């Protein structure tokens, strides 16, 4: 029999590890067909199911049913962020904690691609869910690969992304959401950018070894619960360049050409999908968070290289523009692409 933890009192100085990973994200699009086509033709993703107003897509290295849901909606934005717990009991524990916090919204039993999920809102209003039971993806015979640790073949169209990497939120007030993430969900604050008043400008959280799974910027417009971007992973810097060639020719709005953040040491590229949501692509995994005693790294805004280590300065309006668009956030009236 495997050795188990015998005495929980021994764990009181340890971070809760009940939430294991980011599983998928739902975005809202007023142009859902164009959005689906973008993720298929540019990012090489695969449409696995359409149900109701939603399309379910996957990347070729994600193991579950889908990693992205695109739901038709009058305005762009985020539907929900979905995370998987470490176990069934871990799900129960987190649900108990969330319910006690007053932010719980209840169970959803009819999700596509996974079992019952508990939904809740961040203090700033971002919809989340946690689940344990999941449907693994099974590739049809012509999409299987001899690579047993890859759920399907690498697609031969577009520049195929490998996996969902992270989601970045905009929050009117980051502090309560920070507290909720850390105390109720066990997130680790890996890096934080602070302004001259020591207030949080940006913060990056992880639940595993990735440099972050969830990021959060303070929303300069004061709007609550918005989405800044979702991010997919290439891991190979060259693929960012290959993708930009496709994006340029197809007329999509590349907001920031390939560069490298100080934060996470992540190589980035930003583009808006046709529905108006910002998509980041990562060309370098950056560092891994392996130190179990990691102390949050504090970047002081205006002094450091956190935003950009390699590349042009962060463009004006980068932080402000989010989805759904709000008055004065800089979203153009008629977006490209």
Q: Which is nearer to a second copy, 157 or 336 (CB)?
A: 157
The minimum distance between CB 226 and a second copy, in angstroms, equals 25
d(CA 298, CA 193): 6
The minimum distance between CB 43 and a second copy, in angstroms, equals 11
The minimum distance between CB 144 and a second copy, in angstroms, equals 8
Q: Which is nearer to a second copy, 8 or 327 (CB)?
A: 8
Q: Do the strands 127-131 and 77-85 form a parallel or antiparallel pair, or are they unpaired?
A: parallel
Q: Which residue has the tokens 């523009």?
A: 321
Q: Which is nearer to a second copy, 98 or 223 (CB)?
A: 98
- CA–CA–CA angle 79, 85, 88 (5° rounding): 120
- CA–CA–CA angle 40, 41, 42 (5° rounding): 100
The minimum distance between CB 64 and a second copy, in angstroms, equals 8
Structural tokens at position 259: 């560069």
CB of 254 closer than 8 Å to CB of 278: no
The minimum distance between CB 243 and a second copy, in angstroms, equals 10
Nearest to 274 by CA among 33, 79, 54, 69: 33
Q: Which residue has the tokens 């990012």?
A: 43
Q: Which is nearer to a second copy, 112 or 241 (CB)?
A: 241
Q: Which is nearer to a second copy, 156 or 333 (CB)?
A: 156
Half-sphere exposure of 59 (CA within 13 A, CB side): 21
The minimum distance between CB 72 and a second copy, in angstroms, equals 25
Residues 6 or more apart whose Cβ sits within 8 Å of residue 208? 20, 21, 289
Q: Which is nearer to a second copy, 20 or 47 (CB)?
A: 20
């Amino acid at each position: 029999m495997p050795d188990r933890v015998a005495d929980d009192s021994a764990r009181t100085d340890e971070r809760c590890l009940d939430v294991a990973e980011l599983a998928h994200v739902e975005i809202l699009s007023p142009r859902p067909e164009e959005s689906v086509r973008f993720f298929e033709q540019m990012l090489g993703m695969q449409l696995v199911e359409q149900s109701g107003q939603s399309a379910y897509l996957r990347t070729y290295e994600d193991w579950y049913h889908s990693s992205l849901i695109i739901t038709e909606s009058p305005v762009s934005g985020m539907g929900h962020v979905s995370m998987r717990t470490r176990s069934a009991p871990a799900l129960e524990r987190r649900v108990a904690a969330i319910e006690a916090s007053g932010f719980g919204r209840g169970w959803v039993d009819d999700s596509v691609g996974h079992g019952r999920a508990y939904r809740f809102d961040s203090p700033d209003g971002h919809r989340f869910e946690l689940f344990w039971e999941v449907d693994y993806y099974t590739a049809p015979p012509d999409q299987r690969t001899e690579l047993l640790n890859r759920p399907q073949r690498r697609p031969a169209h577009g520049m195929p992304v490998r996996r969902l990497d992270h989601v970045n939120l905009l929050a009117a007030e980051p502090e309560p959401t920070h507290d909720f993430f850390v105390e109720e969900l066990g997130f680790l604050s890996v890096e934080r950018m602070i302004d001259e008043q020591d207030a949080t400008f940006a913060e990056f959280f992880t639940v595993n070894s990735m440099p972050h799974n969830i990021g959060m910027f303070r929303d300069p417009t004061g709007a609550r619960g918005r989405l800044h971007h979702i991010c997919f992973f290439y891991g190979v810097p060259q693929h960012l360049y290959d993708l930009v060639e496709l994006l340029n020719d197809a007329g999509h709005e590349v907001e920031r050409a390939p560069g490298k953040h100080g934060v996470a040491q992540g190589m980035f590229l930003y583009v808006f999908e046709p529905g108006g949501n910002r998509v980041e692509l990562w060309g370098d995994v950056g560092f891994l968070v392996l130190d179990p005693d990691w102390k949050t790294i504090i970047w002081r805004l205006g002094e450091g290289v956190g935003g950009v280590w390699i590349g042009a300065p962060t463009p004006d309006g980068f932080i402000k523009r989010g989805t759904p668009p709000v008055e004065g956030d800089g979203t153009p009236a008629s977006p490209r692409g």
